Amino acid sequence: MKEIDQLMLANRAWAAEMLAENPDYFNRNVGAQKPVFLWIGCSDSRVAPDQMTQAVPGGLFVHRNIANLVYPDDGNLMAVLHYAVHVLGVENVVICGHYGCGGVQAALDGGADQPIEDWLAHARQVLDDHRDEIDAMPTPEEKVNRLVEVNVRDQLLHLAQTEPVKKAFEADMPLTLHGWVYDLRDGHIKPLMRVTRDTVLAEVPRPERVLV
Ligand SMILES: [Zn+2]
């Protein structure tokens, strides 16, 4: 059977299973959504935010791109961020990187196809800013994993300086930014750091290593 047919069949089976468990499963979400989290993660197919957190439909507002990068001139992400924080009232924004990220690896290697190479400019900036520590890692695996971690840190700092977040902090809205990494090897999310309106961004240290 073609994979695309399998996808459709799986969808029907899932819908039937959810309805059998709870006849109101779909009806309760038809009117509106009230998610508690905005998730900014990598597009990697192995890193499925709803599954790894057992979120139900309506639980997570999601934005994904290669290497979970935050560009203030990324209209797509800024629209998602504004809508999540200022319309839906989400109080937690997560940036979640992951072990063995192909995008971060490509930034480390250089020479990816366009337009990927241009997209990865922020990740290469992270590499340049933390070159001493990355170069000091003894193995290629540790280099990419450490770059994954410091990339989450730096993207979180970019996030804190975007207009939607600055506006929320200035208005004393209860917004917290979380930096996490996901370990493909054991399925565990590992928290790295948090940023609130009281965080002095210029003094945020490099996070402890969690992926070794
Ligand atoms: Zn990735």
pLDDT digits (tens, 9 = 90+) for 120-172: 999 999 999 999 999 999 999 999 999 999 999 999 999 999 999 999 999 99
pLDDT score, position 30: 87
Residue 212: band (very low, low, confident or very high) from pLDDT cuts 50, 70, 90: confident
Secondary structure element (H or E) that encloses residue 146, with its range: helix 140-160
Residue 209: band (very low, low, confident or very high) from pLDDT cuts 50, 70, 90: very high
Return d(Cα 156, Cα 147) in angstroms, integer: 14
DSSP tag of 201:
G
pLDDT digits (tens, 9 = 90+) for 15-30: 999 999 999 988 888 8
Give 44 Cα–ligand 1 centroid separation in angstroms. Answer: 5
Give 16 Cα–ligand 1 centroid separation in angstroms. Answer: 32
Yes or no: domain 33-203 corresponds to CATH 3.50.50.60: no
pLDDT score, position 79: 98
Residues assigned a catalytic role: 42, 44, 46, 98, 101
pLDDT digits (tens, 9 = 90+) for 73-130: 999 999 999 999 999 999 999 999 999 999 999 999 999 999 999 999 999 999 999 9
pTM: 0.94
Give 160 Cα–ligand 1 centroid separation in angstroms. Answer: 21
pLDDT score, position 28: 84
CATH 3.40.1050.10 segments of the chain: 33-203
Average pLDDT, integer, range 31-43 = 93
Average pLDDT, integer, range 37-57 = 94
Q: Which of 140, 157, 182 is nearest to 44 (CA)?
A: 182
| Cβ(143)–Cβ(134) below 8 Å | yes
Give 170 Cα–ligand 1 centroid separation in angstroms. Answer: 32
